[in-house]
A and B are shown apart, each in its own frame.
Chain A
């Protein structure tokens, strides 16, 4: 059976004709989530926060050329406790977003909006992994909207997403770039609590990134997994690996844009070298084995690095090396150190 096609929802047998649906479900974010959308979520416990999380961050440069966080709105579960100034680029600004509730639950709808103004340089990450919890009804969704103005740069590199057993999660990321803007977007997905043997036990995961420049679609990449219907371990898909990481490097489209063929070669070289050193010399068969590679994105948009491994740490290493190299190309300085606890 096709992995992405929802089974037909039945033709209404047993339902009196003409009777309106008591509670029409809102439009699902993707047809494959339509069946889940029809399942109502049991009322949350009184006072439980964070079903409709909202995060808005806007960055702009001031008269001195420094980037500042000029607007921040964080509704639970999101929390922003301030900015960090540890970036090797002194004028850049960093925000680590916190989510103290402990996980994404059924019925959660999160909305994230990050805007980077002209000439601003911002780095947005998260304090900890995003745990998508087990679900019985409905699904969880996150809409991420990123925009970068002319001459600006955004690093959006959150910590990995961990898909617990029976979870259903859809994440849509839209990145809108001005012609002279650049960005780095990272995405790592872990298919369960691997340490306890939970692996590909989630129900459905769809993560999609669309990159547009001046409204024109340049790149559309989706990870769509439904393990019960289509084996993620099939040849050429994930093979023996569990964890998938992707780093998208979007370059400006003006005359100063880097040669993407050359950048792709360098990203490939640093990513594979970092992957090899993460293997600690125990060969390809060990738990530390990782495969990584870089290629040029469609429409001269930039480059993409894919990494596959058995653990989040070994997949993160080549992506981090590639991020460092990409930032050196785009901004003249490497990636900032991690400031997570």
Chain B
């Protein structure tokens, strides 16, 4: 990876990246509210599930397809991956969160970079003709920055886990060292998710976490909420 690509990937993985990942919890808030996640070990187990069964089986598959398509300059194929990911993402709040953060990533990158494909994809999303899921936007952005696809997938996992842990710190009493230990312990799940996604076709995305689906449904109707999802 070139120095430019490495620096770009570090920037994209930084929790300071202003794309709104600090406003989404992907049902974690409801897991805490119903006492299903009460400590660092519960947190690790839940984030591991989402990494393995949601990201490894769907989001990273779409990210890879978008990465390949963007490297080829194929906007249609980017949109196919984008729409596919939406069709397999059942919880409404997950789709909304992925679209909101995806749209903000695209807007940010269009302000910083000058690229025809990025511009064309961003306009399509703005016009409502493609959903603009975060994983797909990240696939496009990393491909254009020449971040290799495997590194892009690892980046996506790290960024998701970090955001989940950040949300957990606002919802639970957790020490900084505990949080770093959970992030360490999640590494095998991140690597497995990246491996799992590698052999999977776009039309074979099968995310499966029904208890997450139910908690997300409950979160939609929760009275007090810090997070959009």
Contacts and interface: CB of A to CB of B under 8 A. Distances in A.
A239 interface: yes
B210 A298 contact: no
B45 A235 contact: yes
A235 B87 contact: no
A31 B201 CA distance: 10
A31 to B, nearest CB: 7
A230 B36 CA distance: 20
Nearest to B199: A5
B204 interface: yes
A236 B44 CA distance: 11
Given A218-B87, A298-B87, A224 B208 contact: yes
B216 interface: yes
User: Which of B37, B87, B220 is most buried by chain A, counting CB atoms within 10 A of its CB?
Assistant: B87
A239 B218 CA distance: 16
B100 interface: no
A220 interface: yes
Contact of A223 (B50, B208, B217): B208
Q: State the majority secondary structure of interface residues on B.
A: helix
Interface string B57-73: 10000000000000000
A4 B90 contact: no
A208 interface: yes
A113 B58 CA distance: 29
Contact of B53 (A230, A268, A307): A230
B41 to A, nearest CB: 10
A239 B207 CA distance: 16
Nearest to B195: A2
A294 interface: yes
Interface in B79-112: 83-84, 86-93, 95
B5 to A, nearest CB: 28
A217 B53 CA distance: 22
Q: How big is the B interface, by class?
A: 35 or more
Given A31-B204, A306-B214, A297 B90 contact: yes
B213 interface: yes
A219 interface: yes
Contact of A234 (B45, B200, B217): B45
Given A218-B87, A306-B217, A237 B210 contact: yes
Interface in B6-38: 27, 31, 36-37
Interface in B175-229: 192, 195-196, 199-200, 203-218, 220-221
Contacts of A236: 27, 31, 45-46, 49-50, 53, 209, 211-212, 215
A238 B210 contact: yes
A292 B49 contact: no
A236 B192 CA distance: 18
Nearest to A260: B92
B140 to A, nearest CB: 20
A218 B83 CA distance: 9
Interface of B: 27, 31, 36-37, 42, 45-46, 48-50, 52-53, 56-57, 83-84, 86-93, 95, 192, 195-196, 199-200, 203-218, 220-221
27 contacts: A208-B206, A217-B87, A219-B87, A220-B87, A220-B205, A222-B88, A234-B45, A234-B49, A234-B53, A235-B36, A235-B48, A235-B211, A236-B49, A236-B53, A236-B211, A237-B208, A237-B211, A237-B212, A239-B36, A264-B92, A293-B213, A293-B215, A295-B90, A295-B93, A295-B217, A298-B89, A308-B214
Interface of A: 2-5, 30-31, 206, 208, 217-225, 230, 234-239, 241, 244, 246, 264-265, 268, 291-299, 304, 306-308
